[in-house]
Chains A and B, each alone.
Chain A
Amino acid sequence: MHKSIKQTALRTALLAAFCGAVGVSQAATIVIQSRDPAGVGFNDTTPVSPVGGNPGLTLGEQRMYVYRYVADIWEQALQSPVTITVNAGWESLTCTATSATLGSAGAWNIWHDFPGGQPGTWYPQALANKLAGVNLSDGQADDGSGYGNVDIKTQFNVNLGNTGCLEGSPFYLGVDGNAGDKVNFVETLLHELGHGLGFSVVSVYTGSVASAVGYRLNAAGTSYVSSGGLPSVWEQFMYDNTAGKTWLNMTSAERRVSAVNPAGLAWNGPNVAAGAPMLTAQPVLKIASPAPGSAGLYSYNTASFGPTVATGLSLGALATIKADTVNGQGCLPFDAADTAAVTGKVAVIDRGTCGFAVKAKNAQNAGAIGVIIANNAAGSAPGLGGTDASIVIPTVSVSQTDGAALRAAITASVPYGTRGKPGSASASLAVDPNRRAGADLAGRPLLYTPNPLISGSSVSHWDVSATPNLLMEPNISRDLGTVLVPPKDLTVPLLKDIGW
């Protein structure tokens, strides 16, 4: 699912201070404005049966019903004295038989230096209007598009589910959450409007030109610049644990590094911090060892083959096998020495050369009771793809660095055993009581920072490791609801941090 952040029209505001103070808080008002031509999108008259609480009798009616339904959720979640205008259309977006761009949305206008905002800081228009207490676009001539002044522009894939476009997986237009194998449009739109309302770094470049990642938009709104641009309202809360500072205080080059710092970039706003305890304890691979300094908790990833693993599973004592730079470690049936080493134990095997399932099967045939694949390159623990229905032992993965630590623990443990049995390090799946799933060690929720960068998606989402799943992760999960506050979700707390 691709959810790009688009922003094409930019305005700078130099309003006089006649704007009144923001009044008492009131629920936001959201207006949906269609730009679809006759017979298309919202105007599609194909007859349909009511579905999942959506009473519409044409495809177009049902689409608009969901828009209104989702807009109502956002109206209740936010306060603003200024009407929020969403321009919506159904268009032919990129798709193939097996993948599709579902849609995209973003703040259509962004502002800096308006009354009520932090000076020299870019804001999405809906938020800027709220803070200013007036519609900053009032009185400005339209750019000829008919939607030049709107707050948010959305477009969704009109062909989704048709032949050649993720066939069989159309949008589910019911509002009861029972989407089955279809794509839940309520959640998709809820997510996209979240971006448009301000859940996005918006004015810092995270696009496909690698050398420009981290550049800020200049004050004129005309180009991304290496230095001298204005920060986004997001940057004060984007805290990089490696650099030890926020994006606000970084150079463009430092932001470029931070944008691809996996599990290293966190949100440190106060409202999110207050809600972060809703995240559950972080699952970890726990290594127990008698050798002082060798016990530890490590991040792990899971495999698409073998039994499903869960917290509480005891894997067993660890063992290593010989390196094999020719065929790849674990790629051939184990010889007598390796078989003796892994029988009844968990084999630690380097990634590389052959498939993960091949290595796991060879280990299983040699009597191993589990497998830990260590990455053979920098980066986090890899997800283990592959299929082999005959594999019955659990397999997990760790990073290259952690794989080295596991091997060191095995070696260090040996002298701590008995005269008849060497000491051993053993592995189990546990939770780290000091860390929450999707947060850093200080409990700050993590932003999505995969390496390499995913253009338009990186940084402007929560990290995929968050548990429970959050609305503003880059993927729409089946267990999302329509509650946007803790203990279900952290969307509204983030928006409050930036001024909502």
Chain B
Amino acid sequence: MFKKASVALALVAAAASAHADVSLLSEGFDQVPGLTSAGWIITNTGTPGGATLPWVQGDGNIFSALTGTAESYISANYNNAPAGGLLGSWLITPVFSTAENLVISFWARSDILDGYADQLAFGLVDASGDISNALLGTTVTTTGAWTQYSLSIAGQGLGSNARFAIEYVGAADGANYVGVDNLVATVPEPSSWALAGLSLLGLAAIRRRRQSR
């Protein structure tokens, strides 16, 4: 999907201009219904019986997207699982190359209501999209303002690839409404590479935790 040659060329350009990051993936969620045909995976592993499907077009009357038209973000809500159930709403990107060092970032926010909070876990999944192999290293509680979250990944060599997954987690009874916008995967400028090794260590640790569950 992403040719090695073009990344190499782009990196040469990046060296000349410190801000010329190379985007491998860039999604503004203008058209959520078109995502699955573009290689995205949306699936629900939460308690069955919720009133809504997970990860749908945002509702501009609840809050507006970070950029673009008001509804151009992707959303999930407490009705993804029934009362008393557990949420497990997965949003998984298309496959991208992990040959080079990468930074994957997205923006998220919640609709804030006293007594409720929305949690997102995120990390890598293998190219098959098999969520039993997912490495969701970070869990965050989103706030009432659009906030950027990111994950740095060290390059794993020619031919390697993966997907990035966000899972809406927690008890349905404690959740409300969450939005995600502007998800991008970029090959960073050289000065960012130093962070990559740390991320890789973190990922290995998470794998054990997920498997024990």
Binding site for B on A (CB under 8 A): 288-293, 295, 314, 316-317, 413, 415-421, 423-424, 426, 428
Contact = CB atoms under 8 A, between A and B. Distances in A.
Contacts of B33: 292-293, 295
Interface string B169-186: 000000011000000000
A288 B79 contact: no
A426 B52 contact: no
30 contacts: A288-B57, A288-B70, A288-B71, A289-B59, A290-B75, A295-B57, A316-B61, A317-B61, A415-B51, A415-B79, A416-B59, A416-B79, A418-B62, A418-B77, A418-B111, A418-B113, A418-B177, A419-B113, A419-B176, A419-B177, A420-B111, A420-B113, A421-B61, A423-B59, A423-B77, A424-B59, A424-B61, A426-B60, A426-B61, A426-B70
B116 interface: yes
A424 B57 CA distance: 11
A-B pairs, top 7 by smallest CB distance, nearest first, are A418-B177, A415-B51, A418-B111, A288-B71, A290-B56, A317-B61, A290-B59
Interface residues of B, number: 23
B58 interface: yes
B53 interface: yes
B78 interface: yes
A417 B177 CA distance: 7
A416 B176 CA distance: 10
B32 to A, nearest CB: 8
Contact of B59 (A314, A316, A413, A420): A413
A291 B56 contact: yes
A15 B66 CA distance: 74
B53 A292 contact: yes
A420 B61 CA distance: 12
Contacts of A419: 78, 113, 116, 176-177
Nearest to B31: A295
A61 B113 CA distance: 81
B176 A421 contact: no
B177 to A, nearest CB: 4
A420 B176 CA distance: 9
B52 A416 contact: yes
B131 to A, nearest CB: 21
Contacts of B53: 292
A291 B58 CA distance: 9
A423 B176 contact: no
Contacts of A417: 59, 62, 77, 177
B56 A416 contact: yes
A295 B33 CA distance: 9
Contacts of B51: 415
Contacts of B59: 289-290, 413, 416-417, 423-424, 426
B79 A292 contact: no
B103 to A, nearest CB: 29
Greatest chain B CB density within 10 A among A290, A293, A419 is at A290
A317 B116 CA distance: 25
A316 B58 CA distance: 14
Contacts of B176: 418-419
Centre residue among B57, B78, B176 by max chain A CB count within 10 A: B57
A417 B52 CA distance: 10
Contact of B62 (A291, A295, A314, A421): A421
A311 to B, nearest CB: 13
B113 A416 contact: no
Interface string B100-117: 000000000001010010
